[in-house]
Chain A
Amino acid sequence: MTGNSDKLIIGGREFSSRLMVGTGKYASFEQTARALEISGAEIITVAVRRVNLDRSKESLLDYIDPKKYTLLPNTAGCYTAEDAIRTCRLAREAGMSDFVKLEVLGDEKTLFPDNEELLKAAKVLVAEGFTVLPYCSDDVILCKKLEDIGCAAVMPLGAPIGSGLGIRNPYNIKIILENVKVPVIVDAGVGSASDAAIAMELGCDGVLMNTAIAGAQDPIAMAEAMKLAVIAGRLSYKAGRIPRKLYANASSPLDGLFL
């Protein structure tokens, strides 16, 4: 049930950890590296940005061994399919991997996905051989379309990016889980360990988060909490919870009661 028999498979690659972690917003690169290590994450997201031409500044990959992690470049900051496609092509050239976290944003206030542009970009990228993991709305019809296009997973949001509001619509996530075959990863919205556990208990294949760890008062401790929550939630899901009942059901036997 756990260990080797419970691998997460995305785009033909096997992963033991079901927690994916972003690398933004940490206080320092040392803290980023430490949090990633403690989290046990094997897939980490990165953004694609201009090189600082003043080379006195250090870069993330000076602190993180790219051989140790699967880098998942994102298209954060892209508001059109065209920009997202361009970013993915650059990411592939820079990272020499086909994995991309595709996000096409609708507006700056909500950072909700522009699903129309997302579908357009996904189609092009899948045709170009990318392993596409799209950040999308928690909408089963959309997720099925993304699956049909050939995305390697779907990544519905639990709540707005960076909001920490948790899984706002667990029923939508459940419906997605019942209707798509590719891995379902909750991306965005997780605030605390219990949120991550809820996502996993619903049956999600993984959880992706950044702010919940990086923005915590103690990011290293939260990285460990999230690691354990994802493991606990997964085990709980696999173990099969008891049905909910309105009334009590005694745990001690009535037989042999001497009163």
Chain B
Amino acid sequence: MQIVLNGEKTEQKDGLSIAGLLTQLGIGLERVAVEVNLDIVPKASYDTHLLSDGDRIEIVHFVGGG
């Protein structure tokens, strides 16, 4: 399946969960937020929320700012 991850199209295997995606990317669960098609996914659902073809995913965190 193809997903749009932080604005970039990427190929991923079917049935990938958010937890699986984060592990694959080497991103810790703490201090990030994940949005799928503009809906925030609570951390408790990372294991069970499976991604679908065409999903638009945003993974954000805190950076320096005023």
Contact = CB atoms under 8 A, between A and B. Distances in A.
A50 B59 contact: yes
A93 interface: yes
Contacts of A94: 31-33, 60-62
Q: For chain B, give the interface size range.
A: 20 to 34
The A interface is mostly helix, strand or loop, or mixed, namely mixed
Given A53-B5, A55-B25, A22 B60 contact: no
A24 B66 contact: yes
The B interface is mostly helix, strand or loop, or mixed, namely strand
Interface residues of A, number: 39
Contacts of A208: 66
Interface string B34-54: 110010101100000000000
A104 interface: no
Interface string A87-112: 00111111100000000000000000
Contacts of A60: 62-64
Interface of B: 5-8, 25-27, 31-35, 38, 40, 42-43, 58-66
Interface of A: 22-26, 29, 32, 45-51, 53, 55, 59-61, 66, 71, 73-74, 76, 86, 89-95, 161-162, 188, 208-211
